[in-house]
Amino acid sequence: MGIYTIRREGVQEPEDVGVVIEGTTVMNNLGSVIMAFIVLFGLIYALDLSYPNDLKYTFDF
């Protein structure tokens, strides 16, 4: 599960930003990494996916 970006060398804006779950691209052309992050968490909630064990303390302060 993750977010990918495709950029051309020398260009600051990404050409494509998307979300990958279990090796399959489920959303693409999201426009920004922030939007992809929001969509990823929405998909985790909507699809009732279990959060990866190695990331379970990511948002623990």
* pLDDT one digit per residue (tens) for the chain, 61 residues: 889 999 999 988 889 999 998 889 999 999 899 999 999 989 888 887 776 777 777 766 6
Q: What pTM was estimated for this model as a whole?
A: 0.71
Helix and strand totals (H; E) in the chain: 1, 3
Q: What is the per-residue pLDDT for 11?
A: 87
Q: What is the per-residue pLDDT for 5?
A: 93
Are 32 and 7 within 8 A, CB to CB? no
User: Residue ranges per domain, the chain?
Assistant: 2-50
Q: What is the per-residue pLDDT for 60?
A: 67
Q: What is the per-residue pLDDT for 61?
A: 64
